[in-house]
Structure 1
C-alpha cells in the first residue's frame, strides 16, 4: 500500500534529460538555412546592388545547402533530396558555360544528360559508400569546397555575382555545422555539459589522416581551378571561335581552276586605238622621249 502511494508522486527528471533531440533534425536544418537564405538574398538585393533574380538564386542555394553536410548521414532523406535537386539544377546552371564553349544544342543536351547521370548515380553513390557520418565532410574545408564548386558551375559576366552565389552555399553549409555544435551542448540544472559529438562539425581536421589529405587535396585543386578559371574559359572561347571543324573552314573538295573565283580585271587590248595607258603623274605624255625632257 505504501509503495502504491509513493509511486503516484512524480519523480524529478534527471538534470540532463531533455525532450529536445540530441541532434538537430532535418526540419531544423532546412528551416534555419531557409530563413538565413531569405535574409541573405534580401541583403544582396538591397545593399549590394544585386538583381532580384540573383538574390533569389543565392537565397535558394543557401537554403538547399543547409542539407549538404548530411550527405554522409546514415539516414537517406538528405541524400535523396539533395541528389535529385543538384542533379537537376547543375546542368541548367552550366548552360552559359556550354555556350562559351561553342557547343551545339544537341551537344548541350547530351552534356546535361551526362552530368545528371554522373551526379545522380556516381557522385552520391560515392558519398553513400565511402563516407562516414561526422567525418571530414562535416568540416570547414568541406564548406569551402562546396562554395568553390558553386563558383565554377555558375559562370557569369561579373565575378562579384559568382562570389555572391558561392558564398550563399558556404553560408548554408556553415548554418548546418553551427546547429550541430549547438545541439551538442546540454544545459542542465545549474551547469552545462557537452556531448562527445561536440567539436566534430566546426573542425579543420579529423581523426583519419587519409580523409584529411583527401579533402585538402580537393580544396587546393578547386582553389587553383577557380583562380585560373577566367583564363581557361577565355582560351576555350577563343578555340571555339576559330574551330577548324566548323562550317566555312574546310578545304574545297574541287580545287580545279574552274572552281576558282573570277578575277576582277581583264588584260587590256593593246591593238585597240581607243586604249590609253594610265597616267602616273609624271607627265602628260607616256613616251620615253617626252618623259625625260
Structure 2
C-alpha cells in the first residue's frame, strides 16, 4: 500500500497537469482551472478518509472543514433563511467547520473500515457526483471539469494502491494480501455495499436531473440591431400633393 506522501505527490502532479490542460487546451478561466487542479490533488487523498492512522484523517478533515463550508455557505444561508450579513456568514462558517472537522472525523472513525468501500470504483463515481452537484450554480462545463478532476485524483489513489500491492522479488512477482482491495466494485460488508450503491443511484438521479434542467433552460437569442430612426424617402412626383 502506498504511503500518504506518495498519494499527495502523485495527485498533486496530476492536479497541476489537469489545471494547465483545462486552461490551455479547453479555454477554461484561470480561476476555474486552478480550482480544478486543486480539487484533483485533493481527490487523491479522499480514499484515506477511512484510514486508521491519525495523520491522514486529521489533514483530510482539516482541508474538508476549510473548503466544504466555502462551497455550500451561500446555499446554507438561503436554506436557513439567515440574513446575508458578515456576522451570519461567519457564524455559519464556524458551525460548518466544527461539524465537518470534528463531527465528520468522529463518524468516519466509528463506521468506516480501512480498505472498505471508500477504496472502490463506486466511491470514485460518488465523489465526482458530489462535486458535480456542489457546483450546480456554475456552467455545465465547469461542473464536468470539477467532477472529472475529483474522480481523476480519486482514481489515482486506487491505482497507486494496487501498484504497491505487487511485490518484486528478483524476477518474480508476488501479490500482497491487499491486492485487489482498492479497485473493486463490492466489499465484504453487505450493508456497506447497499449503502454505497444506494447513494450512487440517488446522486446519479440528482446529476441527471441537473443535466436535464440545464438543457431545458431558456437560452438567450441573439438579435441584430435595428436602426429605428431612418430618413423617409418620398417619390419625386409628389409636387403639389397635400399630405394629410
Q: Give me the TM-score of the superposition, normalised by structure 1.
A: 0.67
Alignment partners' CA distance in 2, 1:171 and 1:42 = 15
Alpha-carbon distance change, 176 to 218 in structure 1, aligned in 2, over 3 angstroms: same
2:56 paired residue number: 78
- Does the 8 A contact of 1:37 with 1:58 survive in 2? yes
Q: Distance in 1 between matches of 2:82 and 2:27?
A: 32
* Contact 2:50/2:109 (8 A) holds in 1: yes
Deviations 1:212-259 (A, max 9, x none): 0011111111112233347899xxxxxxxxxxxxxxxxxxxxxxxxxx
Q: Does 2:91 match 1:91?
A: no
Q: Deviations over 1:5-33 (max 9, x none)?
A: xxxxxxxxxxxxxxxxxx21111000000
> Using the alignment, how far apart are the partners of 1:185 and 1:46 within structure 2?
37
Higher gyration radius (CA): 1
Alignment match, 2:180: 199
Structure possessing the higher relative contact order (Cα contacts under 8 Å, 6 or more residues apart): 2
Q: Hey, what does 2:130 align to over in structure 1?
A: 149
CA distance in 1, matches of 2:118, 2:137: 28
* TM-score, L = length of structure 2: 0.79
Give the C-alpha shift of residue 150 in structure 1: 1.4
Distance in structure 2 (CA, Å) of the matches to 1:186 and 1:227: 42
Deviation sequence 1:98-137 (CA, Å, 0-9, x none): 6876853245444433322321222221111111110011
Backbone CA RMSD of aligned residues: 2.3
CA contact (8 A) 1:62 1:169 kept: yes
Corresponding residue for residue 194 of structure 2: 213
Aligned mates of 2:210, 2:109 — CA distance in 1: 30
Task: Tell me by how many angstroms 1:198 deviates.
Answer: 0.5
**Partner of residue 224 from structure 1, selected from 205, 215, 218:** 205
CA distance in 1, matches of 2:96, 2:212: 23
How many correspondences in the alignment?
211
Structure 1 unpaired stretches of 5+: 1-22, 234-293
User: 1:177 aligned to 2:154?
Assistant: no
Secondary structure of residue in 2 paired with 1:192: strand
2:2 counterpart residue number: 24
Which 4+ stretches in 1 moved above 3 angstroms? 95-103, 106-111, 229-233
Q: Partner residue of 1:136?
A: 117
- State whether residues 73 and 92 of structure 2, in contact with CA within 8 Å, keep that contact through their aligned partners in structure 1: no
**8 Å CA contact retained: 1:97, 1:155:** no
How far does residue 66 in structure 1 lie from its aligned partner after superposition?
Answer: 1.3
Structure-1 residue corresponding to 2:83? 104
Following the alignment from structure 1 to structure 2, what is the Cα–Cα distance between the partners of residues 212 and 131? Answer: 12
Deviation at 1:84, TM superposition (A): 1.0
